[in-house]
Amino acid sequence: MDTLHTLFYFIVAIAVLVAFHEFGHFWVARKVGVKVIRFSIGFGKPLLAWRKSAEDTEFVIAAVPLGGYVKMVDEREEAVKEADLPFAFNRQPLWARTAVVAAGPLFNLLLAVLLFWAVLVIGEVGVKPLIGGVEPGSLAEQAGLIKGEEIVAINEKTTPTWIETFDVLLSAAIVGQREISITTKSADDSRQTHILQLTDQDAATPEGLHKRLGLKPWSPKIKPVVGKLMEDGVAKQAGLQTGDLLVNADGVDISDWQQWVDYVQARPEIAINLTIERSGVRSLLSLTPRREQQKDGTSIGKIGAGVETPQDVLDSLLVKHSLSPLDAVPAAFERTWFYAVNTLKMMGKMLVGSASVENLSGPISIAQYAGQSADMGLTAFLKFLGLVSVSLGVLNLLPVPVLDGGHLLFFAVEAVKGSPVPEKLQIYFQQVGMVLLMLLMALAMFLDIDRLFQ
């Protein structure tokens, strides 16, 4: 069921992003007078196809939902009827061809603006970025951050939730910023500015930075009552049920849920004798946490159980951040610009080797993120779509043959020299670009599979 859930939202995400991208090409092509033969979502055998008449555009939904294309009348691809020659793509002026090609990635960036606007208007619910602890010797301690402070901004960008805080912080670090300004607020409402100093090693991967940062979110002491249980988790298999009160483990009294989490994580594959209370009756059971390998090589124990959090505790932790429809417009453009610039910087860092290629995500990772964000709610899924749409737009604008940016590069050369780049030369560079793109996809897929086994 989880796999079907993930697959469904992955297909929804890809369909939306590809449809908007290809619609950009299609809409501008029609506006500048280019005849469009086919508008396809997906590749391979058509599952659905329709058009008004033989002379109209054919709209297709194909079997492989990993992309799409717009096929236009073009003498370079096949013979064109004499009546259609004025509407051929290759016969259009340079400005028109440039507009058609650029429209796809630009529509992805426009879609990101719309999605981020919707997220800002609907509002994001998250945990307040209250500092619950600072590990000794960590980057956070060196920056002067202390327990009890609330982080209100990173590099003057407002961070109302922990997710936004870590998102902005990691983005700034990974794209090369080595001095990051953190604005905090104390209990008396006074504000302080801390400077976080980073090295290249600190910012090599998000996981490494998160560990070296040494920040612990504040959390209240929650009664150790079992809430959600994973179907294939150790806890459920051992007989734990929702509502069970955890009394002690191996004779050690359990006072709050975090104590239990720490106890379990420290004991991978070590049996724990647990005393529980259910409906006023105490009983004993035994469970052995599964070992889960972390990226830094360490292991932790996990049992597949979550805590039952009282509503008043949730209310004290959560905050909703939203803007009016008018105020959300510039904020959506700012957010899109922020992620686009950071995506471009990240690609540059990976190209020169100063950022790890482990930051690449392939189709498996994207599918997992799609399913996870959908589980978190509408705003989380819309934000996920916005982030991927930005990445898709920026990626397609890169001057790599095969991508839209490669065609734009050819057009730029044509504008300078006054004539098109020779077709044989274009084909050669497109073949090179295809090889590079396939290698990149293979690397992303390899990293995806490696993450699965981890």
pLDDT of residue 222: 85
pLDDT of residue 355: 60
Dihedral angle over CA of 329, 335, 341, 347, nearest 10: -130
| d(C-alpha 26, C-alpha 69), whole Å | 9
Exposed (0-12), middle (13-18) or buried (19+): which is 437, by Cβ within 10 Å? middle
CA 416-420-422 angle, 5° bins: 125
List 22, 149, 150, 164, catalytic entry:
22
pLDDT of residue 296: 62
User: Any catalytic annotation for residue 22?
Assistant: yes
With the C-alpha atoms ordered 408, 411, 413, 415, is the resulting torsion angle positive or negative?
Answer: negative
Q: Which positions ≥6 away from 255 have C-beta within 8 Å?
A: 221, 224
| d(C-alpha 150, C-alpha 303), whole Å | 32
| d(C-alpha 185, C-alpha 182), whole Å | 10
How far apart, in Å, are the Cα atoms of 442 and each of 151, 362, 432, 445? 39, 9, 15, 5
Closest CA to 260 of 275, 242, 246: 246
pLDDT 10s digit of each residue in the chain, 454 long?
Answer: 467 878 888 888 888 998 899 999 999 999 999 998 888 888 888 888 888 877 788 888 888 777 888 889 888 888 878 888 888 888 899 999 999 999 999 999 999 999 999 999 998 888 888 898 888 988 888 899 888 899 999 988 888 888 888 888 887 887 778 889 999 998 888 899 999 888 877 776 677 777 888 888 887 788 899 988 888 888 999 999 999 999 999 989 999 998 999 999 999 999 999 999 999 899 999 999 998 877 666 789 999 988 887 777 777 778 888 889 999 999 999 889 988 888 887 777 777 666 665 666 667 777 777 888 888 788 889 998 998 899 889 988 988 888 888 889 988 988 998 888 887 887 887 777 778 777 777 766 666 566 555 5
Q: What is the 3-state secondary structure (H, E, C) of the chain?
A: CHHHHHHHHHHHHHHHHHHHHHHHHHHHHHHCCCCEEEEEEEEEEEEEEECCCCCCCEEEEEEEEEEEEEEECCCCCCCCCHHHHHHCHHHCCHHHHHHHHHHHHHHHHHHHHHHHHHHHHHCEEEECCEEEEECCCCHHHHCCCCCCCEEEEECCEECCCHHHHHHHHHHHHHCCCCEEEEEEECCCCCEEEEEEECCCCCCCCHHHHHHHHCEEECCCCCCCEEEEECCCCHHHHHCCCCCCEEEEECCEECCCHHHHHHHHHCCCCCCEEEEEEECCEEEEEEECCEEEECCCCCEEEECCEEECCCHHHHHHHEEEECCCHHHHHHHHHHHHHHHHHHHHHHHHHHHHCCCCHHHCCCHHHHHHHHHHHHHHCHHHHHHHHHHHHHHHHHHHHCCCCCCHHHHHHHHHHHHHHCCCCCHHHHHHHHHHHHHHHHHHHHHHHHHHHHHHHC
| d(C-alpha 386, C-alpha 193), whole Å | 31
